[in-house]
């Protein structure tokens, strides 16, 4: 029972942390922080945060680091930390936290489709479990699209809670800085590359069972990549300065979302598989929608509520299918072992 509950609780905690990332990231970017600068600092903080854990917990027990493993770690750093995060934060700057989280619900569908050619998932339309996974994925995507493309009437108005930095968000939305084409497009690109990271990370977990070390190396590689890209794009030295709010945002996103988030997600991928991890991401939409309404004073529309409901239904449908599929495989494996024991006893 504990083996089932612990990964579930960890993934829920990860989604809560990522929801906070959307709020904090929106605030500092609305206040003037460039997303390329934010991402570069985030990777550096993530590397520094993970270094002690990698040294004290895995220095003597970690497997040998080969060139093949380094290549897979590089693919993880480039896809999941560099390209995915740059596309996500630039897309977040050109949209809203709710839209960003809604499009993140494409992760289960993208992961499911990408996992098939890698041999990590099977379609299995003839079984109820396979049908549940496919239908749950489709419902998740449908809910995300509905939430993104349809607002409808206002169901819940602005929150009465006043937060100083929320005024920046209102100003951005009122001045038309939201790009409904560029923002969602970049967020979809981010989703695809993050799904690739989940697939690549499954390979890394198989070849190199040292989550702290592998995640630290990913952050280290991504630090060099993001700093080089950031320096090339943002040449104003003043843009790299950190005030109080920027420092809090960088520390939060670097420690909670990069160091802990990617490390815990890697741990869950190693034990439960990539699709199990991906189906938790719709939860981030619900949490972010509530936080955006409470702290950023966003309005909740009918499309937001209906789309959120559909993503939750699809989420549980896909999770149920994955659980039934796993139970069936375990039963078949047990039957095969029992048959072998019976044959050996007869001999």
What is the number of domains present in the chain? 1
Per-residue model confidence (pLDDT) at position 175: 43
pLDDT average, residue stretch 45-63: 87
Whether 145 is in a domain gets the answer no
Per-residue model confidence (pLDDT) at position 228: 95
Element (H, E) at 301: strand 300-301
Whether 136 is in a domain gets the answer no
Out of 27-41, 132-146, 237-251, pick the least confident: 132-146
- CA–CA separation, 213 and 51 (whole Å): 8
**227 is written with which tokens?**
């700093």
Whether 193 is in a domain gets the answer yes
Whether 123 is in a domain gets the answer yes
Q: What are the beta bridge partners of residue 301?
A: 154
Quick one: what percent of the chain has pLDDT higher than 70? Answer: 78
Per-residue model confidence (pLDDT) at position 76: 92
Whether 335 is in a domain gets the answer no
**320 is written with which tokens?**
């149920």
Whether 34 is in a domain gets the answer yes
What are the contacts of 306-310 at 24+ separation with CB within 8 A? 306/143, 306/146, 306/147, 306/152, 307/102, 307/143, 307/144, 307/145, 307/146, 307/147, 307/148, 307/150, 308/143, 308/147, 309/143, 310/139, 310/140, 310/142, 310/143, 310/146
pLDDT at 177 over 60: no
User: Higher-confidence residue: 117 or 32?
Assistant: 32
pLDDT at 346 over 70: no
Question: Confidence class of residue 174 from pLDDT cuts 50, 70 and 90?
Answer: very low
**Range of the structural domain that residue 285 is part of:** 1-131+157-303
Whether 195 is in a domain gets the answer yes
Per-residue model confidence (pLDDT) at position 245: 85
* Coil, helix or strand at residue 32: coil
Q: What are the beta bridge partners of residue 300?
A: 156
Whether 221 is in a domain gets the answer yes
pLDDT average, residue stretch 117-133: 68
- CA–CA separation, 184 and 98 (whole Å): 11
pLDDT in tens, 326-342: 676 667 666 666 766 66
């Amino acid at each position: 029972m504990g083996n089932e509950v612990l990964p579930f609780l960890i993934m829920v905690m990860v989604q809560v942390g990522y929801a906070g990332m959307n709020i904090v990231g929106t605030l500092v970017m609305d206040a003037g922080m460039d997303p390329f600068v934010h991402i570069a600092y985030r990777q550096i903080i993530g590397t520094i945060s993970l270094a002690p854990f990698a040294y004290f917990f895995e220095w003597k027990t970690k497997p040998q680091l080969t060139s093949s493993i380094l290549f897979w770690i590089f693919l993880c750093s480039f896809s999941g930390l560099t390209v995915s995060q740059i596309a996500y934060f630039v897309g977040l700057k050109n949209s809203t936290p709710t839209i960003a989280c809604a499009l993140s619900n494409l992760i289960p569908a993208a992961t499911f489709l990408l996992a098939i050619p890698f041999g990590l998932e099977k379609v299995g339309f003839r079984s109820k479990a396979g049908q549940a996974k496919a239908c749950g994925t489709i419902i998740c995507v449908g809910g995300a699209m509905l939430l993104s493309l349809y607002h409808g009437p206002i169901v819940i108005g602005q929150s009465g809670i006043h937060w100083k930095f929320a005024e920046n968000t209102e100003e951005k939305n009122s001045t038309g800085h939201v790009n409904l084409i560029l923002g969602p497009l970049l967020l979809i690109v981010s989703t695809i590359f993050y799904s690739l990271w989940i697939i690549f990370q499954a390979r890394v977990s198989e070849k190199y069972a040292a989550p702290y070390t592998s995640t630290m190396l990913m952050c280290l590689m991504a630090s060099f990549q993001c700093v080089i890209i950031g320096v090339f794009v943002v040449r104003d030295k003043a843009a790299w300065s950190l005030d109080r709010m920027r420092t809090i945002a960088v520390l939060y996103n670097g420690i909670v979302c990069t160091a802990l988030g990617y490390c815990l997600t890697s741990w869950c991928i190693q034990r439960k598989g990539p699709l199990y991890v991906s189906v938790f991401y719709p939860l981030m939409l619900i949490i972010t929608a509530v936080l955006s309404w409470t702290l950023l004073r966003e309005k909740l529309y009918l499309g937001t509520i209906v789309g959120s409901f559909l993503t939750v239904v699809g989420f549980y449908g896909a999770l149920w299918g994955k659980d039934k599929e796993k139970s069936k495989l375990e039963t078949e494996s047990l039957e095969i072992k029992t048959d072998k024991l019976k044959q050996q006893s007869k001999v």
